[in-house]
Amino acid sequence: MSSTNVNIHRPSGPEPEPAKDGARSQGIRTRASARQRLESLDRAARELLGRVGPLLLRLSLGIVFVWFGLLKVLSASAVGGLVATTVPFESSWFVPVLGVVEVVIGLAFVTGRFMRATLPLFVLHLAGTFLVLIVLPEVAFENDNPLMLSIVGEFVVKNLVLLSAGLVVASGGRAGSDHPRQPERRAGDPKKVARSRWAIAAVLVVPAVLLSACDSDDSTASSNRNTSTIAVRDYEFEPGTVSVGVGDTVTWVWEGGAQHNVVGDGFESDDQSSGSFRHAFDEPGTYQYACTLHPGMQGDVIVEE
């Protein structure tokens, strides 16, 4: 006997019996159809979400950018002061221009047109907001601790979501209209998955390293150079009087959300409700300053040799 014959020959034994129990097979059939119904419901939900989700994401990005941008154009933005103190150049034209850029980006999202053309602006703009963490650590963090985000810090870090959302939206067409995207993508190639895990780890670790680096920079700087911080809150400057040495920098930090300014001899902040303002005092003397919006809101900086 050859081995082929053995393979063809059925092994002797009882034949599998067809299910005789009618009630049991009925139960199996009911369960199968319930599962089928659940699966088709799930499929329908996924199709709906795949169609509606990207559309809502695109429109909401558009609304946020147009709205925030218009406030900056009209100089009515609560974060205008923060932007102005973060950027290293003249802010009188920068904030409105940034507003126009935001409106343009927003309109691209709302209409679903030129999204990829405006994408570099979008990425640059949002990446720029992270400057706050580096330039104004005293505003972005509580107690100089880079893990303790302030309101401003949280406002900045959540831009990670806006950034990723924009990239996702721009990867598609006019979601929800002419080019509905395939909502589902299977987790494929394990190599790719591993690579994206590394990318995520890098995204998390790199800013942490940068932050700790700039944190230590700050501490060496403050040992050479005295800096004073004054809180602008509750319609007063706290502390009302500070003493610094010649060449020292004083930083005013807005807290509480009400609008104030800092106006003294040789220095003047914008009217702002958040963010900070800095001035270096190079001549000895007593400098009185005030908030011109609120009579009686004043303070002194004493600059000693």
Residues that bind Cu ion (CB under 5 A): 260, 291, 293-294, 297
Give the nearest distance from C-beta 156 to Cu ion in angstroms: 25
State the nearest-atom distance from the C-beta of 260 to Cu ion, in Å: 3
Shortest gap between Cβ of 55 and Cu ion (angstroms)?
44
State the minimum distance, in angstroms, from the CB of residue 56 to Cu ion.
40
Is 109 within 8 Å of 69 (Cβ atoms)?
A: no
Nearest by Cα to 166 from 205, 207, 98, 108 = 108
Choice between 63 and 293, CB closer to Cu ion? 293
Distance CA 132, CA 211 (A): 11
Nearer to Cu ion, 218 or 271 (CB): 271
Question: Closer to Cu ion at the Cβ: 114 or 235?
Answer: 235
Query: How remote is the C-alpha of 34 from its chain's centroid?
Result: 43
Nearer to Cu ion, 226 or 259 (CB): 259
> Taking a C-beta distance cutoff of 8 angstroms, is the pair 71, 103 a contact?
no
The least distance separating Cu ion from the CB of residue 292, rounded to whole angstroms, comes to 8
Q: Which of 115, 72, 77 is nearest to 95 (CA)?
A: 72
| Shortest reach from residue 224's CB to Cu ion, in Å | 33
Q: How far is the CB of 85 from Cu ion (least distance, A)?
A: 17
By beta-carbon proximity to Cu ion, the closer residue of 27 and 239 is 239
Decide whether 228 or 259 has the Cβ nearer to Cu ion: 259
CA-atom Rg of the chain in angstroms: 31
Q: Which is nearer to Cu ion, 193 or 293 (CB)?
A: 293
